[in-house]
Amino acid sequence: MPLKPTTNSLKKAQMQQAAIETATNSLLSKLKRGMRSDAVTDLVKFVLDESGNMCALLGILEHPEHHQKVQVQKAAWVLHRAFQSDPRGLFAHRQALSHALDATDDTSVMREILKTLASPIWLDLESEERRSDVLQLALDLLHVPTFPIAVHYAAMQIIQTRAKTSRDEAEAAKAIRVLMDGLREQNALFKCAAKHEARIQKRINR
């Protein structure tokens, strides 16, 4: 028979949940338009200080329907800056990042999460299923020319780090070509895409 949770373990879980709720309320009160750089720095330090605080930040992103749009957008902004400051603070939260990405239809939030996931540092930490899922998402994004340029840049970075098999690389080359064909001019995004395409074609031709 499975062991029943002890009173101490239940109490600990309740205390952890209460701490996350307190952290969530604290974050929500500060996530707003016109945030000063020192306020962002303070929030980055706050979420990196305790795993529960990072859980609170990710909880906002995983359930955007419960919060104001600007709060969710700023939460994503803080998330990426926290990752830039110390990636280790997010290593235990890879699944939550996927949930947050699935939950959003806001391209500015998507951009910040994709930029976080684009780092090759995740390669040794994520499962094959996670790798495959984020690669497929990146490929799909290149088929939508109306997405912001920053989303396409992040998608191509993800493709470069996650395309491992010959099939992956063939699909990546096709998706990048679709993006290039959909651009009206040979702008900076087109040139970046061309470089990515050339790298992938070189790998395919080996």
In the chain, how long is the greatest CA-to-CA distance?
67
pLDDT of 158 reads 96
Is residue 15 scored above 80 in pLDDT? no
pLDDT of 3 reads 53
How does pLDDT run across 17-42, given as a tens digit for each residue? 888 899 999 999 999 999 888 899 99
Distance CA 169, CA 75 (A): 33
pTM of the predicted structure, to 2 decimals: 0.87
How does pLDDT run across 71-92, given as a tens digit for each residue? 999 999 999 999 999 999 999 9
Q: Supply the angle between the helices 69-85 and 107-117 in degrees, to the nearest 10.
A: 20
Q: How confident is the model at residue 145 (pLDDT cuts 50, 70, 90)?
A: confident
Is residue 59 scored above 80 in pLDDT? yes
Is residue 152 scored above 70 in pLDDT? yes
